[in-house]
C-alpha cells in the first residue's frame, strides 16, 4: 500500500516556487480523504464537487482574489476526490486528451471557431 505524506511531494522548482504534479496532488487527496470519500460515495462526492464549482462561480463575481484562489483549490480537490473513487488518474487523462494542443483542431493556440 502506498502512503505518501502531503509534504513529501511538494518541492521547489527552478525559481524556488512550489511544484506538484496533478497526479501527486491526487495521491495526497487520496491519502487524506479516500476513507471519507468512499464512505460518502460517488454521487454525493460529485454533488460536493458541483457545489464547489458553483462557489467558484460566485467567487469570480467578487474582487476577492484570496476567495477566488481558495475556490479553485476546492474545485480541484473535489475533482480529484471524484476521480479517486472511479480510479481515474486526472493527470494522465489531461495529458491523453490535451497534451500540448487543442484536441479538436490540433493547434496551440486553438484555431477552432467559437
Q: Do residues 19 and 10 touch, judged by C-beta distance below 8 A?
A: yes
Q: Hey, CA dihedral for 79, 82, 84, 89, is it positive or negative?
A: negative
Q: Which residue is nearest to Zn ion (CB)?
A: 102
Which residue, among 96, 81, 100, 10, has the nearest Cα to 39 in the 3D structure?
81
Least distance (Å) between residue 56 CB and Zn ion: 24
Residue 54 or residue 111: which is nearer to Zn ion going by CB? 111
Q: Which is nearer to Zn ion, 4 or 112 (CB)?
A: 112
Chain residues in the site for Zn ion (CB under 5 A): 102, 104-105, 110, 112
Q: How far is the CB of 106 from Zn ion (least distance, A)?
A: 7
Amino acid at each position: 500500500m502506498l502512503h505518501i505524506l502531503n509534504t513529501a511531494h511538494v518541492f521547489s522548482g527552478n525559481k524556488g516556487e512550489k511544484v506538484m504534479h496533478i497526479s501527486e496532488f491526487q495521491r495526497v487527496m487520496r491519502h487524506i480523504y479516500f476513507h471519507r470519500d468512499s464512505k460518502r460515495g460517488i454521487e454525493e462526492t460529485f454533488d460536493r464537487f458541483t457545489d464547489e464549482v458553483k462557489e467558484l462561480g460566485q467567487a469570480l463575481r467578487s474582487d476577492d482574489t484570496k476567495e477566488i484562489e481558495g475556490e479553485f483549490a476546492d474545485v480541484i480537490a473535489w475533482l480529484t476526490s471524484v476521480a479517486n473513487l472511479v480510479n481515474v488518474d486526472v493527470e494522465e487523462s489531461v495529458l491523453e486528451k490535451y497534451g500540448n494542443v487543442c484536441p479538436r483542431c490540433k493547434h496551440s493556440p486553438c484555431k477552432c471557431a467559437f
